[in-house]
Structure 1
Amino acid sequence: MTQHSELSTPIPYGRQHITEVDIQAVVETLQSDFLTQGPKVAEFEQAFAQYVGAKYAVAVSNGTAALHLCAMALGVNEGSCVITTPITFVASANCVRYCGGTVEFCDIDPATALIDLDKLRQMVESKPKGYYSGVIPVDFAGNPVNLEELRKLADEHGLWIIEDACHAPGGYFTDSRGERQLCGNGRYADLAIFSFHPVKHIATGEGGMVTTNDEELYKKLLLYRTHGITRDPALLEENHGGWYMEMQALGYNYRMPDMLCALGISQLSRADEGLARRKEIAQVYDAAFEGFASIAVLGTSPGALDEKGGTGHAYHLYVIQVQDRKGLYDFLREHNIFAQVHYIPAHTMPYYRSLGYRKGDFPEAEHYYSQCLSLPMYPTLTADEQRFVIEKVKEFVANDN
């Protein structure tokens, strides 16, 4: 095996893996009668619903569209107040604002960077019932939120749950009965959303999915993703003929094309293989950094560990925390390692500060942000590349002490 003191090829934090089989799946669709709303859409929806264990799935143009449609389907409006975590991509909060609602943030558990369920309970119980409409937990980095515990709180206070599972297809937590609950299966959340951005587990370029077990919500999603228009004869108020359609609600063009669904179907067929490889990479990182007091590895939520020693963490990201994060970030870039930071706390963004939030509001989230760095994590990362990343992280930390 060749040892490398330097690697000339850039190593990103995430990367898509497109095979010849994927390419052929897209080519076949390009040569078919449908480029957009054809048979591959329903095929992908059915396959994805089966993969996560949900009754229904709705393919949409991206993860942000998925969040927006969920908020619409649940009736978010100017009178709604919704809680989410500040450590997420801003779309998790923005979807509420799109519908005119108010966003409030709940600080994170510093051990996992997930929304702190104890703080969330305190927050909800500090207000009268009905003050909050719902909560949007995020399975950050692929680490699943314990939705069974969250569901108890939600039921006590009449809250709905949108699970942002963009980082966690194939992830799971173990419930109080010892059963694995797959992220997005709809057992505890009203709706769940996924993204198929190139760095995600399943890559279609752009694309997203909503899953649910609620038939009424499912029908709303189908309507809202296509301008609020239906052609279903059973739903029409009038019927002038075979051409007739009705716009019954104000919807959007959030459809996912057939050719991207074809790619999604092909990618989904390798999802378990990719997830297994991510877990192998995480184990190598874990072993390499064990015992390094100056390198803190973001923890796995207790519910993601089962009695057989397995983990339900989906490892979209592998996050470490160091004192001199900026220094390490720059040092790695000098060596062609393009680590990334996830995320800048949403409440510190100028837009949310314009709504009254200030730096200092959520100290755990801000402390986490000051030290976090996502190392390269994707199935095609080679053993040599990972060794090089580990070598450079350790080199910087050793010299920084």
Structure 2
Amino acid sequence: MTTFLLIIIYLAFISLGLPDSLLGAAWPVMQSDFGAPIETAGYLFMTIAGGTILSSLVSGKVLKRFGTGKVTFVSVLMTACALLGFYFAPSIIWLFLCAIPLGMGAGAVDSGLNDYVATHYKAHHMSWLHCFWGVGATLGPVIMAQYISNQNWGKGYLTISGLQFILVVILLFTLPLWNKVNSHITINKEPEEPKGISFKENAEKVRPLQMNGVKLALASFFFYCAVEATVGLWGSSFLVNVKGLTAATAAEWVSFYYAGITIGRLMTGFVTFKMSNQVLIRMGQIIALTGAILLVLPLPSFFSVAGFIVVGLGLAPIFPCMLHETPARFGEKHSQAIMGYQMAVAYTGSTFMPPLFGFIASHTTVALFPICTVIFVIAMVLSSEKLNRVLKKKLLINNKNKSSTAI
């Protein structure tokens, strides 16, 4: 029963990934059809992510009131309806209206499922969970590429909407399963002491944002999503306008980026048995930086697809490992609230940074895309490493205080 529920959660994350890569893949054709300026894609992306931020911030209260199962069902239903709206949209204004429920459908379910898996399952399940997000994100451009080659991007959205409605039906009939599993599940572990604050402090009324290292963790999530979203949204435009590829070929190449994330997370799930989350995060950041530098270098177009794949492989372990570290870093008592904050800040990075680059590109050139990617990766590395130092220092102080008390 618990395994079957995990399969349902994996399917939900496929549905979460499917829409995320569609706009970037289809935009070179959508822009022409609607006669819109290039930066409009950034504003649409901002609207989607804005809805996600709002739903992430209220996710804690919503999940406690209605439960993860019902929230997941309603969220996927909203996403399916919004994608159907993209298919019927007669103008850019309608795209913006549909973008709101598309974003809101993602936020609460994302926070809820991440916290559920981080609390109840081991690290490899978190990596595989986000691997299934990558499956959806990879399939999105592949499906869309089949339609935009015939200048019919709308049917791409219609197809993805149909897949979402199938999952809605599955979630509807499996709603009773959530209560059954929650009533039987037991966590066979003692409460872990968080790395950034003493267990005694954790028991007191400490606000999550005031806890040691939380703001640095939020910064890491911000810049991670800035990288992931910017590459996904503007990768096709960079390949079309700078490398001279066709829109269909560019969409397929960007799908390799998401494939890199997917395959990387599949492998990470096995590697977590041997390596800690902290080591995997650091390794992923180094690989992502290598891929971003590969995009910067003035090499033939073929090396661009290699750069996208390497960036994807590098990003693969970072997000799920950071999420899974949340209860260990800050304690299970605050993990759900902090998870909501992390998702909200992560989507803030998705909201503002890709449109910011779109604004810069519209006034300069989209050729700055690789340089922007490198800057975001470096910022992520710096905030993550500083967080590690803060938590390590606090842990040493806590251990020293425990020793003094024992004596």
TM range, normalised to the smaller chain?
under 0.3
- TM-score, normalising length: structure 2: 0.28
**Which of structures 1 and 2 has the larger relative contact order (alpha carbons within 8 angstroms, sep 6+)?**
2
Greater fraction of residues in helix: 2
Rg: which structure is higher? 1
Higher strand share: 1
